[in-house]
Amino acid sequence: MAKLHELAKVIRSKNAGALLLTLDIMFDNEEAYRTVFDSGVLSPRKIASLYNLSDNQVEVIAFEVALAIKITIPRHTTAGSPGDSDVYGAQQHAPLLDLEITSG
């Protein structure tokens, strides 16, 4: 059992426009990518529970050519509106770091 941050090379978040947030998990080797992808841990249900959303608001996209997994979710506040805490959306990745990846 390993944590996601032990397997991935990049775990980042960023706005995809003012209304969406996109989380990219990138790997530097195919084995790590496969381990995480096949574990099924990065499911819409799991992400929804981490970010207080419902399953159907979460999109998980595998991007094998770049050994990456992309997750797109709605922002809770439109970027830069009063109450927003992260205008660029660059610091919303922390809940992913310690996700337990069960291999096989």
Partner 1 sequence: MRPIKIMAASGMLGYGFTEKAFNHGLSLGIDLIACDAGSADPGPYYLGSGTPFVSRIAVKRDLSLMIRGGTQEKIPVFIGSAGGSGSDKQVDWTLEIIREICNEQNIYPKVAVLRTELRPEQLVSKINLGKISPLGPIKNLNEKDANQTHKVVSMIGAEPFQQALEEGADIVIAGRSSDAAIYAALPLMRGADPGLSWHMGKIIECGAQVIEPREGQDCVIGTIYHDYFTIEPGHPDRRCTRTRVAAHTLYENPSPYELKEPSGTLITKSATFEQIDDRVVRVSGSKWEPSSTYTVKLEGVKKLGFRTVFFAGTRDPILVSGINNFIEACQTRIERDSKAIGIDKEDYMLNIKVYGKDAVMGANEPLSDHNAHEVGILVDVVANDQDTSKAVCAKARYSLLHTDFPGRMCISGNLAIPFSPSDLSAGEVYEFNIWHIMECNDPMEPVRMELIIPNDPPKVRLNG
Q: Please, which residue, 34 or 70, has the CB nearer to partner 1?
A: 70
Strand partners, 22: 14, 72
Could you tell me the two tokens for 19?
């209304």
* Cα→Cα distances 77→17, 43, 48, 57, 83, Å: 12, 23, 16, 15, 7
Contact call for residue 18 and partner 1 (CB under 8 A): yes
Among 2, 41, 46, 72, binds partner 1 (CB under 8 A): 72
Per-residue tokens: 87: 């205008």
**Contact set with partner 1 (CB under 8 A):** 14-20, 22, 24, 26, 28, 50-52, 59, 61, 63, 65-68, 70, 72, 74, 76, 78-83, 85-88, 91-92, 94-95
